[in-house]
Structure 1
C-alpha cells in the first residue's frame, strides 16, 4: 500500500458468578483422564444434498463458508411436520442486539411459535448482563429447558453432570441422523459441548467468520491516492498520519488496532503448543513491541479519542469518520446494509509482517460460539427439544431458515431478487437470541452486493490457510477455569492503561512474569496434559 469466567462453583453448584471473557476459549473439553469411560464418538456428519448449490463452495471442515449471491426464490423444506409437542419450551439466551418486543407484539416470534408447534418462552438477556443472570438461575436451581452456555465457564464438567442432560445416546455417531439439520453441522464445532467424553451441548457454528480483521474504507483512501496493500507497520502508521483530520471530526483509526499489530508479529492465538508445552500469548516476548506500537498510534492522535470511553466504531467507520476499524469477517454484510452511498467501498487488510519482508498471521476463531444444553428436568422431552433444535439449525436456502430469521414471507419480510429484506420494524423483532441455542452453518452472503461477497471469499482464502489456531481450544484445565477470567481482567486493564499512556510498557513484562509464576505455569502443564490426552500431539 502507498503510505473473550462465569460460575465460581468452588463451594458447590450454587456459588456466585465471577466474571467472563468470551475470548478465553480454553476450557471446554476435559482431558480423557477425567472421563468415566471411553469418549463417545462425535455426531456423524452428513451434508444435506437437497440445498441450492453455492456459487463458491466452502471448505469441507466448515472453516471457510460457502458463498451465495442470492437466496433461492423457492426455498427447500428441510423439516417435515411440526417438531413441537404443544407444550411451552423455556429458553435462557443472550443477545448483542436490543431486546426485541415481547411475543404478543412480535410477529416474527409468534410466527416461529406457530411453525414449531410449541410456544417458545424465551428469556433474552443482554450479553453484558448474562453472567449475572446465569449465575442467579444456577444458584436458584431454575435452569430452563434449553440454556446457552459459554465454553469458558469454570467447572463446566461438574455443572453439566449435575444439571444438564447427557445427549450422547441421542447425538453420538449415527444417532444424530434422526435430526438431519443437526447432522449437517460441521464436525469440529461439536467438541464445544463435550465434557468427560460425553456430549452435552448443541453448537452454534462459526468457523473463520468470527476471526478479527482490520477493515479499511477503500473509497475514502482512493480519494487520497492511497491504494494497494500494506507493506509493514510503518506503512500503516504513515497512511494514518496522512489521512488523519481531527479538525473535521475524522480520525484514521476507530480504535487502536492492537490485535492486527499482534497478528503482524505472529503472537500466539491465546495458547500455542511449541512441541513440548503450551505457551501463553501473555508471555510472548513480542507483546511489548505490539503495545509500544499501539501506544504510539494513540499518543500521536491517530485514534478517535472516544475509542476507550465511548466507542462507536461501526458508526464512525460507516459514516466516514474513520478510515480503519477492527471487526470480524461476519460483520461484512452489516456495513453494506442500508448504505445509501453507491460509492461506498471497503475491504479487509491483509497482514504483513511488522517489519516487512513476509506475512503476519490471522488468529482463527473457534469452530462454535458457545453451546446450548438441556436442563435435567426436561429429560422426558429430549426428542422434542432436539427436533426444535433441528428446525433452528435449518441451513441457508431452506424455508425454515427464513422463518427463524425473518418471519412470514410477505408479512414480515419480502424476498426480492434473491434478497430477503425485513418489512418495517420486523428486523429488530427477529433478534430472539435463538442462534445461541443452535444455528445453521454460517455462509458468506451479502444481500444485494454480490461483488462484496466474492471479495470477502477471496480475503478469507488468502488469510485463513496460514491462520494461527488456539491450540488449547476446547481443552479443559481446572486452573484455567478458576483463574483465567480474573487474569484476563488484569491484563486487559493493564493493556488499556499502557495504550493510553497511563502506565509504561515495561509494566507488561512484570505482570506477565508474576502471572506465569502464580498461575501460568500450572495452566500450561494442565493444558499440555489435556492436549496429549485428546490425541492432538
Structure 2
C-alpha cells in the first residue's frame, strides 16, 4: 500500500477532513469541565524520574548551570551504542506530530524512514500536521470518539481542556518512569529534570515524555554581515538597536521580520520585553502572581516595536504571510533579523542560509535586561491508553529516539545513514543532497522524542562559536517563568482566548491601527476574561508544590 494512503487514513483517524461536517462537541471522554480534577494541589505527587546523565564525549567548551550548552566543534571520532535490546515487536505504531517542514517522501522511497523503522522494529506511521493546522486538528481529535494514534504530540499551544483529555484517554506512566523506575529507559533518564518539571504533572501524575529544549527562549536571529557593514556593534542600547535596524532597511531589504505571535506564544515581543527588564510571563510577589502585561517594561517594549514599524523597519507582509515565508525572507537576506524559537539554531537553518551571511544572535539592548528563558521543553508525547506491555514498547521507542549526542542511535535519528544522508571527514559530519529532503524536519520523529540538545553545527564552526559566546553573555541574566509546569484550569479552558486578546492588541498597536494607550484597555479585558483567575490558580498550585 502506498504511503500516501497510510497518511490519508491516519488523518481520518485524527479527525482531519471532517471539519465541514462534524461539529466539535463537548469532550465526552473527559467531561465538560466538571469531571476529573487535573490540578496538583493536595494530590499525592508522583516522583520525577531520577536524572542519570550520559557520560558523553568531552566538549570543546563546557556548558554550565545557567544553561550554556556544551560546545562541540568536531564530531566524535567514535560513537557508542546506547540501545542493545530489541525495541519493537514488528507491530504498527501510529504517531501524530506537528511539522514545520515539507511533507516527507513516502516510506517506500524514503530511506531515512525505512532505516528508522528497521532500527525500531516497528511499522511507524507518522501523521504530519502543518503547524498552521495543528490546533484545529488537535481540537477535532480531542472532540471525537474515534480511536487515537498510539503517540500524540502535544505542543505548548493552548488547547481547551487538553489536560482533561490527557487524563481521561492517555496513559498514566508514573509507575514506569517515576523515580528510579526510569532506569529501564536510560536515554529517558538522561532528560534533565527541568524538562519533566516544565511539562508538569496532571492530577499529580506523569502523562508523557517531554521534548527537551535548550534554556534560551525566543531569540533575535541576526545577519551579522549586514549589521557589521552598517557599523552596528554586537552590544547595543535601545537607541542603538533602533538606529541599527533603521540603517539596514533600504530598497528591498528590511531590518526585521515578524511581529505576530508565534505558534503557541507571544512571539517577537518576548525578546523586546526581556531586553527592557519585564518579568518572564509572571513575577512572584509575596506568593502572588503578577502578569508581565501589567508592567511598564512590557508597555515600553510595545513602544519600541511601534517605533520600528513607524520607521518602516518591518517587512510589509509581516502580518499577512506565513511564518514559513517570513523564515525564507530571513534565510535569503531579504530581512536582516527575525525572532524565532531557539530551536531554530540548527543545521537546517544554516543550510538554508547557504553562507549568504554570517549567522549570529542579537543580544538584549536594555540597561537592565531580564532575557526570558525558554520553558526547557517544546511539548511532550503522550500515549493512548493501552496494556502495560504496549506502553513499555512505546517508551522503548521514545528511549531510542532520545539517545544522546555521541551515540549511534542519535546519529541515525539526526543525520540518517552514513554514505546516504551524510559522510564524514576530518572535522565530522557532512550532509548530502539527499539529506535536504530526507531529514527530521520533513519526517519529524524528533517530535515523538528527542535527545537533550548540545551545540554542534557540522560545517559551521564559526556559527557555533558565536552562539556559544551569546549564551555565555545572555543566560546568566536570564529569568524563568515561575508558572512553568503549574496547572491552571482557566488557562486550559480559556488560554486560546486570552492569547488572542493579547496577540491581536499587540499587532494593532505595533502597526498603528490602535493608539499605544489602548494597551491599558487590553490589560483590563485580559484580566476580566480570565487573566486574574489564572493568576489566582497559579498561586494556589505554587503554594501546594513547595
Matching of residues 180-191 of structure 1 within 5 Å: 180-191=186-197
Shift in Å, 1:8: 8.6
Hey, what's the Cα distance between the residues in 2 that align with 1:29 and 1:441?
28
> In structure 1, what is the equivalent of residue 108 of structure 2?
104
Give the counterpart of 1:350 among 363, 369, 374: 363
> In structure 2, what is the equivalent of residue 72 of structure 1?
76
> In structure 1, what is the equivalent of residue 262 of structure 2?
none
**Higher RCO (CA < 8 A, seq sep 6+):** 1
Kept after mapping to 2: 8 A contact 1:92/1:123: yes
> In structure 2, what is the equivalent of residue 320 of structure 1?
333
> In structure 1, what is the equivalent of residue 153 of structure 2?
148
> In structure 1, what is the equivalent of residue 307 of structure 2?
296
Q: Deviations over 1:409-447 (max 9, x none)?
A: 112322333443443333322232221221100111111
> In structure 1, what is the equivalent of residue 165 of structure 2?
159
Hey, what's the Cα distance between the residues in 1 that align with 2:247 and 2:140?
51
Report how many residues are paired. 504
Hey, what's the Cα distance between the residues in 2 that align with 1:361 and 1:454?
23
Shift in Å, 1:338: 5.3
Q: Secondary structure at the match of 1:286?
A: helix
Give the counterpart of 1:429 among 421, 438, 443: 438
Relative to the length of structure 2, the TM-score reads 0.86
Matching of residues 523-534 of structure 1 within 5 Å: 523-534=534-545
Hey, what's the Cα distance between the residues in 1 that align with 2:25 and 2:403?
35
> In structure 2, what is the equivalent of residue 394 of structure 1?
403
Q: Secondary structure at the match of 1:372?
A: strand
Give the counterpart of 1:330 among 319, 330, 343: 343
Ranges in structure 1 where 5+ consecutive residues have no aligned partner: 1-6, 17-27
Q: Deviations over 1:2-23 (max 9, x none)?
A: xxxxx9985533789xxxxxxx
* Distance change in 2, residues 1:195/1:302 (3 Å): same
**What RMSD, in angstroms, separates the aligned Cα atoms of the two structures?**
2.5
Q: Secondary structure at the match of 2:52?
A: coil
Hey, what's the Cα distance between the residues in 2 that align with 1:449 and 1:412?
18
> In structure 2, what is the equivalent of residue 251 of structure 1?
254
Q: Secondary structure at the match of 1:141?
A: coil
Ranges in structure 2 where 5+ consecutive residues have no aligned partner: 1-22, 260-267
* Distance change in 2, residues 1:439/1:360 (3 Å): same
Hey, what's the Cα distance between the residues in 2 that align with 1:502 and 1:313?
22
Hey, what's the Cα distance between the residues in 1 that align with 2:378 and 2:415?
21
Q: Deviations over 1:105-129 (max 9, x none)?
A: 2110011111111111111111221
* Distance change in 2, residues 1:57/1:472 (3 Å): same
Matching of residues 40-439 of structure 1 within 5 Å: 40-49=46-55, 51-59=56-64, 63-138=67-142, 139-151=144-156, 152-191=158-197, 192=199, 194-209=201-216, 211-231=217-237, 233-246=238-251, 249-256=252-259, 258-310=269-321, 312-333=325-346, 334-337=348-351, 339-341=353-355, 344-353=357-366, 358-430=367-439, 431-439=442-450
Kept after mapping to 2: 8 A contact 1:14/1:140: no
